Amino acid sequence: MKVNVRHLGDLYPKSIVTSGTLMTFLNLSAVNLSQGILIDSLKTVKKRIRDRFITRSTIHAYALTMIWSPMEIMVGIVVDATGVSYLSYLPWLLLVSFAVLIIDLYLEKHSFRSIPYKGQGMAHRHKVKKEIYLKMVKLLMVLGLFLVMVMITSHWFQLSFILAVTLVIFPFSFVWSLFMKKAFLFLRVGYKTWRQKTNHLQNFVVLFVSLSIFSNCLNQTEALTWIQYPFIIFQEYPVIILGLILFTYIGLGLFGVHPIATVGVLLEILRPFFEVFNPMGIGVMLIVGALATASSGPYGVVVTMTSINTRQNPYAITITNLPFTLIFGSIGIAAAYLLL
């Protein structure tokens, strides 16, 4: 991140690309890692500016990376619910991610370029850059191979996308550790971590069990018709329907409703529209809306982690990232509309 950096405008693209690369493989763990590095690197910068920089670069990187990641639960839920192949979604999700990234880099680089950066990292820049880029290419190749294995497993055994990802992760990781000659370390650390983390999954159990009960009950009541009404009256205006999806995520997120719960409700509401519009277009908007809101939902996991790490009020993070959410959602609406 710190090679050849003159001001924070130079640091921002490096930060978001580095963080995004790590998040592709480490998910939420990379949020803590990236924010820890930036907090240490920006000690001489005023706290208000440092917090704004860290909040934007790391959370934006998370949203832009997770939108197309096969290990993101929102992607898996939508893929299975719409019946559209992940590979069909992937080019469009990458297109949205890339378009938003370009806009974000342009805006933020100009926003931060007036703030000088006083750090180290100029020495051996050519050697460091060559090694880092080589490792990044290797990681992306491994991710591509992982996707191939997931699709083959899903096709051969007729499994849902989420189940295929779940089943492939462990054997694929183990084979990777064999090539790295660290299989014993992988098993030892992995088993210890598995025991610790499995005993702290009660929140997810409550979330998914209650969500399942709620979604199935909702489908059997008149309440579903009431909630569907705003979507039905605008069925001749697909852009408005796509906008309603985005603002449903944003509105419920501000009151603490997790995007997973929101997508469960939206899927029940929008299921009749799958016969009118291309399910892939609706699916793209469901994924984009969920991940765009992840950057500004005050009760979301990544926002909460950032709040703790930077000692900010979660709603301050929401205000900082809301313009990004709206830009992200608008690009998603445009892409989804083309597919409808």
Whether 68 maps to a domain, the answer reads yes
- Enumerate the β-bridge partners of residue 116: 7
Query: What is the SS3 assignment for 6?
Result: coil
Which position has the token pair 């009541």?
Answer: 221
Which amino acid appears at position 80 of this protein?
A: D
Name the burial class of residue 213, with classes exposed (0-12), middle (13-18) and buried (19+) by CB atoms within 10 angstroms of its CB: exposed
Whether 134 maps to a domain, the answer reads no
Other beta carbons within 10 Å of 87: 11
Mean pLDDT for 21-45 is 88
Whether 111 maps to a domain, the answer reads yes
Which residues, at least 6 apart from 33, have a Cβ–Cβ distance to it below 8 Å? 22, 26
Which residues, at least 6 apart from 20, have a Cβ–Cβ distance to it below 8 Å? 61, 62, 64, 65
Whether 245 maps to a domain, the answer reads yes
What is the per-residue pLDDT for 282? 95
Which of 92-96, 120-124, 145-149, 254-258 tops mean pLDDT? Answer: 92-96
What is the per-residue pLDDT for 299? 83
What's the rounded Cα separation, in Å, for the pair 179 and 170?
14
Q: Model confidence at 124, in pLDDT bands (50, 70, 90)?
A: very low
What's the rounded Cα separation, in Å, for the pair 266 and 304?
24
Whether 141 maps to a domain, the answer reads no
Whether 273 maps to a domain, the answer reads yes
Q: Model confidence at 119, in pLDDT bands (50, 70, 90)?
A: low
Mean pLDDT for 111-132 is 67
- Report whether 70 contacts 76 (CB < 8 A): yes
Q: What is the DSSP letter of 90?
A: H
> How many domains does the chain divide into?
1
Query: What is the per-residue DSSP string for 199-265?
Result: TT-HHHHHHHHHHHHHHHHHTTSTHHHHHHHHHHHTTT-HHHHHHHHHHHHHHHHHTT--HHHHHHH
Which of 22-26, 75-79, 117-121 tops mean pLDDT? Answer: 75-79
What is the per-residue pLDDT for 129? 63
Whether 261 maps to a domain, the answer reads yes
Which position has the token pair 């984009």?
Answer: 288
Whether 76 maps to a domain, the answer reads yes
Give which of 29, 131, 25, 116 is closest to 70, Cα–Cα: 25
Mean pLDDT for 167-190 is 93
List the domain range (segments joined by +) for residue 65: 8-123+201-339
Mean pLDDT for 286-310 is 91
This prediction has a pTM of 0.86
Give which of 52, 63, 72, 58 is closest to 115, Cα–Cα: 52
